[in-house]
Amino acid sequence: MSKHTDAAADVLLEKKGCAGVITLNRPKFLNALTLNMIRQIYSQLKKWEQDPETFLIIIKGAGGKAFCAGGDIRVISEAEKAKQNIAPVFFREEYMLNNAVGSCQKPYVALIHGITMGGGVGLSVHGQFRVATEKCLFAMPETAIGLFPDVGGGYFLPRLQGKLGYFLALTGFRLKGRDVYRAGIATHFVDSEKLAMLEEDLLALKSPSKENIASVLENYHTESKIDRDKSFMLEEHMDKINSCFSANTMEEIIENLKQDGSSFALEQLKVINKMSPTSLKITLRQLMEGSSKTLQEVLTMEYRLSQACMRGHDFHEGVRAVLIDKDQSPKWKPADLKEVTDEDLNNHFKSLGSNDLKF
């Protein structure tokens, strides 16, 4: 077994059996991603992809509480305010890693046990296999901090059933356990007590093909028992979600929810009204445009959006209200959807010329 890191490292990169194993190792910070971690994972992923002795890649989080709660955005916001320009580099390299996961030539298995949000979704959802447990808690909560569901959210969210992805993106709604599988975000579900055994079985495979790996995952999935007989928690609301969130503007979506008037619709309305109006409008357009783009085209678009958000007001205010002062009372500017003009919106999506993200 070869190790590339010491025990105190934020990410462990180990060759075990037939696999390269990536362990996100900042459990105190819910394994939030730093630029240093992104760089290490990217370069190791590329090496393993070329290595004939590495047959699969496994990624997991240390500590049992989180797979990865997202990018360490507090650090980015603080650096921006101190005029240290790390945001252009952080988002560029993070999105390049998301693309590397999506185009990985080796079977890629993400064990999404615990909190999996934002940047953690980007490290898992584009890979071939995503294994959720009953402890998995999925969300793309970015509209609450003046951002948008990035890391390729514009690619995978509009491709979920009906308008489910639009609903998850705009409200930041949390999915738990087997529902992460039922929503189509995970490819398999395994009871967490069997997770270590599953990993051992994968590592013990001899020169496995993609089919061998799939078959091990399939067996564990079939034998999982937790919540097996429960239906998808949003099943009863899917008709409402599909009709309310099929509108092309935020104003119409809000009108649809008001007209619907059910307690579920009014609950979503309450949530949406707390979000950054700019973020809501950017996000809706991001998903509509992303629905017909490749992952690389989506990441290029999202890179433009990320840089526009760094220049704006709401991201820094959202980070302050949610992560720093924790007063949960952000003062958005503009504070009203109707004040977010088409011109504002178009500026977010504008090309950055030679600074665009290219693959």
**Residue 336 annotated among the catalytic residues of the structure:** no
Which of these is catalytic: 71, 118, 154, 290?
71
Query: Max CA-CA distance within the chain?
Result: 61
Long-range residue pairs from 248-252, CB within 8 A, at least 24 positions apart, any chain: 248/284, 248/288, 249/284, 250/170, 250/277, 250/280, 250/281, 250/284, 250/337, 251/337, 251/338
Instruction: With beta carbons less than 8 A apart as the criterion, state whether 56 and 207 touch.
Output: no
Alpha-carbon distances of 275 from 12, 70, 153, 269, rounded to whole Å: 36, 19, 17, 10
Cis peptide before 330 (omega within 30 of 0): no
**Residue 71 annotated among the catalytic residues of the structure:** yes
Query: Which of these, 273, 112, 102, 257, lies nearest to 179 by C-alpha position?
Result: 112
Instruction: With beta carbons less than 8 A apart as the criterion, state whether 77 and 136 touch.
Output: no
Which of these is catalytic: 80, 94, 142, 302?
142
Which of these is catalytic: 102, 114, 119, 120?
119
Which of these is catalytic: 134, 150, 179, 191?
150
Q: Write the DSSP string, 151-166.
A: TTHHHHGGGSSTTHHH
Does residue 207 come out as left (phi exceeding 0), alpha (psi in the -120 to 50 range) or beta? left
Strands 56-61 and 19-24: parallel
111/152 Cα distance (integer angstroms): 19
Amino acid at position 223, single letter: E
**Residue 142 annotated among the catalytic residues of the structure:** yes
Amino acid at position 87, single letter: A
Residue 108 contacts by C-beta under 8 Å, 6 or more apart in sequence? Answer: 56, 57, 59, 101, 127, 128, 129
Alpha-carbon distances of 226 from 77, 133, 248, rounded to whole Å: 40, 9, 38
226/239 Cα distance (integer angstroms): 26
The residues assigned a catalytic role are 71, 119, 142, 150
